[in-house]
Structure formats: C-alpha cells, structure tokens
C-alpha cells in the first residue's frame, strides 16, 4: 500500500480535522475581530429579515449571498492582517498595501450589500 501524497490525515479524519480548524477560525474571528463580529451580527439580522419579508426569490437569494460574502471577506481580510502583523509590526509600504487591499475588498462587499438590499426592497 502506497503512502498518501497528502500530509496529515486522509478520508473522514481529514474532514473532521478541517471542520475543527474552521470552527477554530470562527472562534478566533469572533474573539479577536470587532469587524467580524459586526458583519456577523449584521448577517444574523439581515438573513432572517430576508426570509421573513415578501421578496422575490432572486432578491432573497441575492441578499443572503451578499451577507455571507461580507462575512467571508471579513475573515479573509482578518487573515491578511494577522499574517502581515505576524511577519512584522514595522511600517512598510507593502504591508500597508496588503491591509488596504483587504479593507477595500470589504468596502466593496458592504456597498454591494447595500445595493442588493436597495434593489430587493424596491422589488
């Protein structure tokens, strides 16, 4: 029997390990990132609201997807910031660029969310 080309566990054990890492990431985001808590709470309000309101199916789907996208982008933005800070706390133009690009991605997501809600409520 040949050795697996993947490091670590395989099969179901790998899936369970990955789930554990993902849960750890969500816990770390909640504990350490105010922006993650904010977009998560916004999603916890916005998603049920989208399900309760009488909206066309496309609008409901777009609102929910946009809320989830803001949460995903905030996790990625926080990961970029943590990696940059781990590398060095000294000011560097590339570190600033990386952080600013992550922040810009989240700004675009939030603008998209506002636009989608506006379109959804307009009908």
Assess whether 81 carries a catalytic annotation.
no
Catalytic-role residue among 3, 33, 74, 81: 74
Sequence-separated (6 or more) residues with CB below 8 Å from residue 28: none
Distance CA 80, CA 65 (A): 22
Determine the Cα–Cα distance for residues 70 and 40; give it in Å rounded to an integer.
8
Residues annotated catalytic, as ranges: 74
């Amino acid at each position: 029997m040949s050795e697996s080309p993947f490091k670590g566990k395989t099969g179901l054990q790998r899936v369970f390990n990955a789930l554990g890492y993902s849960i750890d990431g969500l816990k770390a985001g909640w504990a350490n990132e105010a922006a993650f808590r904010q977009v998560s709470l916004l999603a916890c309000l916005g998603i049920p609201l989208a399900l309760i309101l009488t909206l066309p199916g496309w609008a409901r789907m777009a609102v929910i997807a946009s809320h989830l996208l803001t949460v995903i982008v905030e996790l990625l933005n926080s990961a970029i910031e943590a990696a940059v800070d781990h590398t060095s706390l000294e000011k560097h133009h590339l570190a600033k660029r990386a952080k600013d690009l992550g922040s810009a991605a989240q700004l675009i997501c939030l603008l998209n969310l506002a636009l989608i809600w506006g379109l959804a409520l307009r009908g």
